[in-house]
Amino acid sequence: MKGFFSLFVFLVIFGSVRGDLKLGFYKSACPKAEKIVQDYVNQHIPNAPSLAAALIRMHFHDCFVRGCDGSVLLNFTSSSGNQTEKTAPPNLTVRGFDFIDRLKSLLEAECPGIVSCADIVALAARDSIVVTGGPSWKVPTGRRDGVISVASEALAEIPAPFDNITTLIQNFANKSLDIKDLVLLSGAHTIGISLCTSFSNRLYNFTGVGDQDPTLDSEYAANLKSRKCRTQNDNTTIVEMDPGSRTTFDLSYYSLLLKRRGLFESDSALTRDSNTLALINQLLQGSLQNFFSEFAMSMEKMGQIEVKTGTSGEIRKNCAVVNS
């Protein structure tokens, strides 16, 4: 009886608390794995810092559909003619995929068939945010890759820029993330960019009568209309979500929210719910270090959503294709 109890405690402490992932999972099978990712990121991200944003968003999109299982990377799946997740709009992240493919080639050369694509995304996202001067967080590894990727699921499960607070909270709750995680993870928009199409209804036709979103600062809206998104149909211009400090991982995203300059309805909505507003105020009153450590905790939670471990899934040979 005592034995069973000890075993139970052991499993709780070392097994399920991290969703069966563990720190340094590749320590014996591929000891250089994490270092290879980190070195490659350190070598290339300084020349292409905007890729850091693409990679953390890729990790988020991966985790929100079928768990963090690399499904976001697939070009096609074995049998059906399903369109994969990466084809679902909006898909600005498109430029990060070849970066992951190159990392995968390095890892396959070092230890073939060992390191999953899902772990590569999780590690690369963390390491590249660190390069930009942002927070670091723990990335326990051992994720395995999924074999299914369906565009319609990405559309249904990834929150939309026009979502209201009720939908956002529900959407995150569906992934075992709470409102604190919602507020903190939205903070990644401090380094975000967006196409006009993700918010131009707020500028041109908010309720279908050619009006503007009254919750958006009118001076800012006028500026966006004259300098950036000149028509409602502009689908090529890119706008910074945190103008002036787009490359810096800082608290200014939250200050802008309070000035009614959040770009998406989903950003702006965080200021009109008393619970999320209180969290924003707490973050702004705290230090940057405090934001970093809180953000880190939410990223660790996000990185463990519905992960596949043990014998489920596979270790893909090519991140864009399921093994045949």
- Provide the token pair at 61: 């999109």
Please report the beta strands in 102-237, taking only residues with DSSP state E, as ranges in sequence order. Answer: 193-195
Q: Which stretch binds ligand HEM (CB under 6 A): 87-95, 145-153, 250-258, 315-323?
A: 87-95
Question: What are the φ and ψ backbone dihedral angles of 316, each rounded to 5 degrees?
Answer: -65, 145
- The 3-state DSSP composition of the chain as helix, strand, coil percent (nearest 5) reads 55, 5, 40
CB of 22 to ligand NAG, least distance (A): 29
Report the distance separating Cα 263 and Cα 214, nearest Å. 13
Candidates 38, 50, 136, 205; binder of ligand NAG (CB under 6 A) is: 205
Q: Which is nearer to ligand NAG, 82 or 215 (CB)?
A: 82
Is the separation of the CB atoms in 192 and 54 below 8 Å? no
CB of 105 to ligand NAG, least distance (A): 12
Is the separation of the CB atoms in 181 and 298 below 8 Å? yes
Q: Which stretch binds ligand NAG (CB under 6 A): 127-135, 167-175, 185-193, 219-227?
A: 167-175
CB of 215 to ligand NAG, least distance (A): 13
Q: Which stretch binds ligand NAG (CB under 6 A): 12-20, 53-61, 178-186, 232-240?
A: 232-240
Report the distance separating Cα 83 and Cα 75, nearest Å. 8
The one of ligand NAG, ligand HEM, none whose footprint includes residue 97, by CB under 5 to 8 A per kind, is ligand NAG
Element (H, E) at 119: helix 117-131
- Provide the token pair at 137: 């967080």
CB of 246 to ligand HEM, least distance (A): 9
Residue 53 binds ligand HEM, judged by CB under 6 A: yes
Environment class of residue 274 by beta-carbon count within 10 Å: exposed (0-12), middle (13-18) or buried (19+)? exposed
Report the distance separating Cα 157 and Cα 66, nearest Å. 9
106: amino acid identity, one letter: L
Which residues within the stretch 94-153 sit at the binding site for ligand HEM (CB under 6 A)?
Answer: none
Which residues within the stretch 207-266 sit at the binding site for ligand HEM (CB under 6 A)?
Answer: 264, 266
Binding residues: 62, 65, 67, 69, 71, 85, 159, 189-190, 242, 250
> Which residues face 193 on adjacent strands?
240
Residue 212 binds ligand NAG, judged by CB under 6 A: no
Residue 270 CB partners (closer than 8 Å, separation 6+): 165, 182, 183, 186, 257, 262, 276, 277, 280
Catalytic-residue membership of 59: no
Residue 71 binds ligand NAG, judged by CB under 6 A: no
Q: Which of 59, 61, 143, 202 is catalytic?
A: 61
Element (H, E) at 240: strand 238-240
Residue 94 binds ligand NAG, judged by CB under 6 A: yes
Candidates 75, 136, 215, 282; binder of ligand NAG (CB under 6 A) is: 75
Q: Which is nearer to ligand NAG, 105 or 166 (CB)?
A: 166
The one of ligand HEM, ligand NAG, none whose footprint includes residue 210, by CB under 5 to 8 A per kind, is ligand NAG
Report the distance separating Cα 140 and Cα 38, nearest Å. 15
Q: Which is nearer to ligand NAG, 3 or 210 (CB)?
A: 210
What region, left, alpha or beta, does residue 159 occupy, with left being phi > 0 and alpha being psi -120 to 50 degrees?
beta
- Provide the token pair at 64: 């929100």
Q: Which stretch binds ligand HEM (CB under 6 A): 16-24, 52-60, 68-76, 144-152?
A: 52-60
Binding site for ligand NAG (CB under 6 A): 75, 77-80, 82, 86-87, 89, 91, 94, 97-98, 148, 150, 152, 157, 164, 166-167, 170-171, 174, 205, 208, 210, 232-233, 235, 318, 320-321
Residues classed as catalytic: 61
